[in-house]
Structures are given as C-alpha cells and as structure tokens.
Structure 1
Amino acid sequence: MTTSAQSARHGLDDLRQLMKRLRAPEGGCPWDRQQTYASILPHTLEEAYEVADAIERQDFMQLKDELGDLLFQVIFYAQLAAEEQRFDLDDIIDNLVAKLLRRHPHVFPDGTLASDAVTDPLPEAEIKLRWEEIKAEERAEKSAISSVLDDVPHALPALNRAHKLQKRAASVGFDWFEWMPVRQKLLEELDEIDEARALGDQDAMEDELGDVLFSCVNLARHLKIDPDKALRRANNKFERRFRRVEQLAEAGHINMQGSSLEVLDQLWNQAKQEGL
C-alpha cells in the first residue's frame, strides 16, 4: 500500500530545505559545505551541455533528469549568496519575472502579470527589434561605458562568444547585408594562413586560424545556423563513422596503426556509403 508520505510530490520548498541541510555547519555534507561559486562553475557548464545533449537526442526522460541537475546548480548559487546576505532564491525569481515582464510589452503592456495582451499581435520582426532595444536600455543603465559589447560574458565558450559578439555588433549595423561577402572573407583568411605557414610563423598561424574560425561563425550566423549545434553534429557524425571504421578494420583483421592512409580512407568511405 502506498502511503500519503510516499505519494507526496516534492516541491521547490523541499529543494531549498534540502540545500540548506547540505550546507549546514552541523550535520551537512562535507563536500557541499566546502564548495564556492568558482568550484561549482564547471559542474554548471557540464550540466548545461548535458541538457543540450538530451534535447538533441530527444531523450525526454533523460532531459527531465538533466534539467533537475541544472536547477540544482541555481539553488546552490542562491544558497551561497543567501549565506553571504547578498541575495536569495526569491530575489532571483523576482528579478527574473520583472525583467521578462519588461521585455515582453506586447504580452504585458502594463508591465504586470495581470495586464491584458495586445489585441493586435505585432509582427515578429518588430517584437525582436523592441526586445533588442529594451536590452540595450538595460545595458546602458548597468554601465557608464556605452559599448554594445559590455555584457558579453568572457567565460562563454569561444564559439558561442564569437557568435554573440557578432550579433551584438550587427545590432548597430556593423555587419554585411548578405552571406557571399562573408564567404569571401573566409577564403581570404584561409589564404592568410597559407602565408603565415610559408613564413613558419607559429604565432601568426594561430592568429590567422582564429580569424578563420571567427569567419566560420560569421558565415553560420548569416546562413541562420547555430555554429555550436553544427559543430556538435559534425562531432557526432565523425564519432559514428570512426566507430564503424574500427569495426570494419577488426572484421577485416586490419591493424589501423600499421595501415596506410589509403586503406583507412577506403574504410571511411565505406562507412559514409552506409549512411553513417
């Protein structure tokens, strides 16, 4: 028989209480007690990527679990800040709701949850433009420096940060109008790598390769492709094909380490022909 205690669902308050217990000086968890903002940051990034992985695999049971892990990271930061009397979870939620009300005037014209939505829906382009205008106003309020790049986090993965920097610059008109000049710029950057390589200048090669990668991100943006998603897709494709190459090599009694590139390339092409 299932008791009422067993069937009761846990809520947000339970999670907050659990976090307090974990951090309690007496009776808490030694590992949780010694953590700081910086020490749990790598876990936060890892959990975010695990959420992305579950979504891309459409594994929704796993997604539920990974979202819980990501939520726990927020609860952890909130508890650390509450202990230092900086802010708590209620402050985080209050700030978030206020910001979203402010950024969605087409849904909440009075800036309150009780306000009625606009009867005539605005075009999506106009909504996006207003969203960027509101974010620009918020940035101006936060900083005396009026650069549109001010709050692009330095801690973002380089690929994501390049994309965000480019979008932010494009918001004030610093951008090409179409994708072909971006493609041409990419080819120019590749030529500059060749020049640096010919000179044997390792530092210049690194610099020019960075420009190539930055141009690839720019091309992806103009083609309306998420560069990080595209690269993860390429990683997954490579992994599938390489694993198949390993299987084919084993089945053919081929020593991969002792084989020529031509032999391995034949196995690779076979894996491709199999649709992997």
Structure 2
Amino acid sequence: MKKFDELVEIIKRLRSPDGCPWDREQTLESLKPHLLEETYEVLEAMDEGGNKLMGELGDLLLQVVFQSNICAEKGEFSIEDVVQSISEKMIRRHPHVFGDLSDVKTSEQVLVNWEKIKKEEKEHEDRLSVLDGVPVGLPALLRAEKLQKKASKVGFDWPEIHGVIDKVEEEIAELREEIKVQNKKKAEEELGDLFFALVNLSRHLGVNPEVCLNSASAKFEKRFRYVESRCDLENASLEEMDNLWNESKK
C-alpha cells in the first residue's frame, strides 16, 4: 500500500545520518515506555472512536514501523517480514476460512482449534506449561485474567458463578482477620488473593476487569470534581464533602 510504504520511508529518513537526532538515538529499550503509553492512549480513544481513534492508531502503528526499522538496521528482520509473518499466522490459524477444515462453526470451536494450532508452531514448541506465554510485564489485572483463562481451557475453573462469589466472600473474611490481628504482610497477601478472585468474578460475568476498574475510576473522578467545585477542600469537613458526594450521585 502506497501510504504505508511512505511511512516506512519516513522512518528510514528520520533514522538516517542526516535525519532527526532524537530518532537516531532511540533503541528498542528506550521505546518501551512510548509503546506502552501509545497502547493506553488507543484504549482510551476506543471509547470515542472517529478521528481520535484514527490518530492514536497511527501513533501505535508508528511504534511498530519504528521498531521494525531498528531491527532491520541490525539485520534481524524488516517490516515486510513482520507483515508476512502475521499474514501467514492468520491464514494458518484460520483453516476453517482459508483451508479445508469445515467442522468449526462456533467461536468456542475457533478458540479450541486456535490453541491446538498454536501448540504446533515452532515459536511455541518450548512451552511446557498450560500457563506459559502469559507475559510477566502485563498489567496485573490483565495478567490474572489471562492466567485464569488458560487454566479454564483445561477444565480448571468454577462450574458456575456462585462458587466464584463464595470465593470472593471467603477472601474478604480472610483479609478482615489479618487486618484484625494487624499482620500487614499476610493482609497484603490476602488482598492480592481478593483481587485475583474479583478478576475471576469479572471473567465469569463476561466483563473486562480493566474496563470495570477504569469505569469506576472515571465515576470517582467525576463525583470528586463535583465536590471539589462546590467547597474549599482544605477547610471543608468530611461530613460536608460526604454530603456533596451523595449530592453528585443524583
């Protein structure tokens, strides 16, 4: 595609000796925080869509092309190799679309077949555990969800949601007990177990824990800004702020 090729050439020019000093200095390591930032900005823009999302997707695509160019300079692979690799993977993992596999009709069957094909791929042949392949660097909620999903695929899961709710209540009780005896280390451990159980609950409800928490944070921000706009925070009493908080809910 012409426009994509133009972007590739722009990055090459920026990295050239007569290009941009900042771009020339970048490495894969230095680009890590930028990639993470761009990813979160895309996630935020997905709620708005339109030109906002288009722009943020462009910034994310820039990271892909930029890092591929750095690897090409080291003789490892090019952006063309990246595109070819993902294209081949999509075709390989969709034999029900591009091949002769005809007994895959539902999303569940697609996911089962996807995992089966993945296990046979060379890049995954060294995986020994069902849980292998979940990056340690993922956000905590997302990593917990992915670990649970992998375990669930082999039947290690609650059969129904009431068991999950009971587990959440059990973890709350255990956390209360450690707080009561002022065991901070154990309380921290139990709090982690509670977070993990809540992620499990969100998974059984079919909702994304990151989305849930972000929605709660947005709601808190909106209500607190309401309180902030209607009183002097430094001099207001907790009762006054609490009344305004309840007022904001209306």
Q: TM-score, normalised by structure 1?
A: 0.85
Give me the whole-angstrom Cα distance separating, in 2, the residues matched to 1:171 and 1:148.
Answer: 9
Q: Quick one: higher RCO (CA 8 Å, sep 6+), 1 or 2?
A: 2
Residues 119 and 125 of structure 2 are in contact (CA less than 8 Å); yes or no, is this contact kept in structure 1?
Answer: no
Give me the whole-angstrom Cα distance separating, in 1, the residues matched to 2:5 and 2:37.
Answer: 25
Give me the whole-angstrom Cα distance separating, in 2, the residues matched to 1:101 and 1:208.
Answer: 44
> 5+ unaligned residues in a row in structure 1: which ranges?
1-8, 111-116, 250-254
Displacement, 1:121? 7.1
Does 1:127 pair with 2:110?
yes
Secondary structure of 1:107's counterpart equals helix
Give me the whole-angstrom Cα distance separating, in 2, the residues matched to 1:136 and 1:168.
Answer: 13
Secondary structure of 1:257's counterpart equals coil
Alignment of 1:129-148 (within 5 A): 129-138=112-121, 142-148=124-130
Q: Which residue of 1 aligns with 2:241?
A: 264
Residues 104 and 110 of structure 2 are in contact (CA less than 8 Å); yes or no, is this contact kept in structure 1?
Answer: no
Give me the whole-angstrom Cα distance separating, in 2, the residues matched to 1:181 and 1:136.
Answer: 31
Q: 69, 72, 80: which is aligned to 2:59? A: 69
Does 1:106 pair with 2:96?
yes
Structure 1's consecutive aligned runs of 4 or more residues displaced over 3 angstroms after TM superposition are: none
Q: 80, 83, 93: which is aligned to 1:90? A: 80
Displacement, 1:141? 5.7
Q: Which residue of 2 aligns with 1:213?
A: 195
Q: Which residue of 2 aligns with 1:12?
A: 4
Residues 145 and 199 of structure 2 are in contact (CA less than 8 Å); yes or no, is this contact kept in structure 1?
Answer: yes
Q: Which residue of 2 aligns with 1:55?
A: 46
Q: 129, 144, 160: which is aligned to 1:162? A: 144
Give me the whole-angstrom Cα distance separating, in 2, the residues matched to 1:177 and 1:46.
Answer: 37
Q: Which residue of 1 aligns with 2:158?
A: 176
Give me the whole-angstrom Cα distance separating, in 1, the residues matched to 2:64 and 2:228.
Answer: 41
Give me the whole-angstrom Cα distance separating, in 2, the residues matched to 1:141 and 1:36.
Answer: 24
Alignment identity in percent? 46
Residues 136 and 148 of structure 1 are in contact (CA less than 8 Å); yes or no, is this contact kept in structure 2?
Answer: no
| Bigger radius of gyration | 1
Please tell me the root mean square deviation across aligned C-alpha atoms, in Å.
1.9
> 5+ unaligned residues in a row in structure 2: which ranges?
none
Q: Which residue of 1 aligns with 2:26?
A: 35
Displacement, 1:175? 0.7
Q: Which residue identity lines up with residue 137 of structure 1 in the other structure?
A: E
State the number of aligned residues: 250
Alignment of 1:185-200 (within 5 A): 185-200=167-182
Give me the whole-angstrom Cα distance separating, in 2, the residues matched to 1:106 and 1:179.
Answer: 32
Displacement, 1:123? 2.7
Give me the whole-angstrom Cα distance separating, in 1, the residues matched to 2:76 and 2:37.
Answer: 26
Q: Which residue identity lines up with residue 155 of structure 2 in the other structure?
A: G
Residues 159 and 217 of structure 1 are in contact (CA less than 8 Å); yes or no, is this contact kept in structure 2?
Answer: yes
Q: Which residue of 2 aligns with 1:231?
A: 213
List per-residue Cα deviations over 1:219-251 (Å, max 9, x = no partner): 0001101000111111111111111111222xx
